[in-house]
Amino acid sequence: MAVVREFTLPDLGEGLTEATIVQWMVEVGEVVAVDQPVVEVETAKAMVEVPCPYGGVVTARFGEEGADLPVGAPLLTVAVGTSPGPEDAEPAPGTEPASAAPSGSSPEPQGEGSGNVLVGYGTSASAARRRRIRPGAGTTKANGAGTGAVTAAHERPVASGQGRSVAVISPLVRRMAREHGLDLSEVRGSGRDGLILRTDVERAVQQRATAAGAASGATAGLVGPATVTAPAAPGTTFGTRSVPGTPAAAEGERIPLRGMRGAAAEKFSRSRREIPDATCWVDADATELLAARRAMNAPGTPKVSLLALLARICTAALARFPELNATIDTESQEIVRLPAVHLGFAAQTDRGLVVPVVRDAQARTVAGLSEEIARLTDSARSGGLSLADLTRGTFTLNNYGVFGVDGSTPIINHPEAAMLGVGRIAAKPWVHEGELAVRQVVQLSFTFDHRVCDGGTAGGFLRYVADCVEQPALLLRNL
């Protein structure tokens, strides 16, 4: 006899209490193995695959793609046991039972499940046990569809004439398209590999609204409730407001603070509430640093990024000033100096700003740092960072110069104690060896928690960083 097990959204850790369904990886009627990933969800920190601890036939799914679910809410139900059939399974309320799987294709009985569910870190089961078993390879689909659960695969629109699925990662993009009745197959993505971004949807909605406004211009003089379309602004969604009997005015848009945006808002607010931060800054001549990078990037050698060189300078500076690689234990009122440098770096993605973390940065060479930064950056842009890649940093490097700005006073990435900011490198007049010359100058800013050190320590750290930028040979002392 098959027994129906309900699998709920597990505890995500790191204070996360909800997640958004990005993509279902199984369908109703499909046989799943123990610890097989069944759904991809987006938390406030990362997109991760959730493995199911039960093996059996999926009898129901709960929640459409783009829906928000709290921790503990049902994700799906699985009929576990040998050769589960419609006479054995107890369907979830509002669903039809799944049809029987043919003999020889049933999974191992897993009455209690593996218990190895931990979002962002995978499970301990072997790859063979986690392999995906598709319908048609010994399975059949459920015949019915209920009202309380999603009982069919969410169909993705196919781009006209191209025969491929529309490239969409963000559930926000799908939600915006649904709210405005927009067919994503008609939208051309501007992201990598044709990825459809939020701005692409906004542009398509605006174009459609403009065309509709032109077509309805002849009815502008009609008497009745006024409907006003809010003017489009870059980076915003769209909406209308109907005000009977009075001239309508544009209404301000309300954007929910949830997901990554909500998590960032809470972290920024907590940092400002708890950390008495101070900032100092200095200009540095980066001409020699750029020359050193060109020399390191000789043909036939692995490329070294400028960010990797700055990261190596940070680890060398933290070795000299270890009090800045720290955190504050507010309960015990103690400064905790940390032995390893887990270096975070700010990365702008289509989903917003994220801070991937390079583990044990102090033990890596410049080439190793460059390789790891490149890997994490690619994962961030594709939405493939795990929770482990985004947490437990001890110091952050913020290269806001890529936005074309010179300086900033960034908010410390709580619960860290400091952040180094790097502005753009630009040609400026500079006194070099007693003469006025045009040099490549960068502004460095350093924001620190005044509880962990005084201004002398912070100034010494920043001065050492500036000296290494101006004379990269100083790094040889720490190699």
Query: Which residues are known catalytic residues?
Result: 450
Question: Do residues 359 and 369 make contact, with C-beta atoms less than 8 angstroms apart?
Answer: no
CA distance 239 to 232: 9
Residue with tokens 């740092």: 369
Tell whether omega for the bond before 415 is within 30 degrees of 0, i.e. cis. Answer: yes
Residue (of 224, 73, 207, 220) closest to 149 by Cα position:
73
Residue with tokens 């700055």: 310
Using CA atoms, how far residue 171 sits from 21, 167, 232, 259, 322, in Å, is 7, 12, 21, 11, 42
Q: Provide the pairing of β-strand 418-432 with 395-398.
A: parallel
Helix (H) or strand (E) holding 396: strand 395-398
CA distance 331 to 321: 25
CA distance 413 to 45: 14
Helix (H) or strand (E) holding 37: strand 36-42
Half-sphere exposure of 409 (CA within 13 A, CB side): 6
Using CA atoms, how far residue 227 sits from 90, 214, 219, 234, 411, in Å, is 50, 15, 12, 22, 41
CA distance 375 to 461: 28
Helix count and strand count (H, E) for the chain: 8, 20
CA distance 177 to 193: 20
CA distance 322 to 316: 10
Residue (of 90, 83, 100, 92) closest to 29 by Cα position:
100
CA distance 99 to 94: 16
CA distance 174 to 187: 12
CA distance 21 to 43: 9
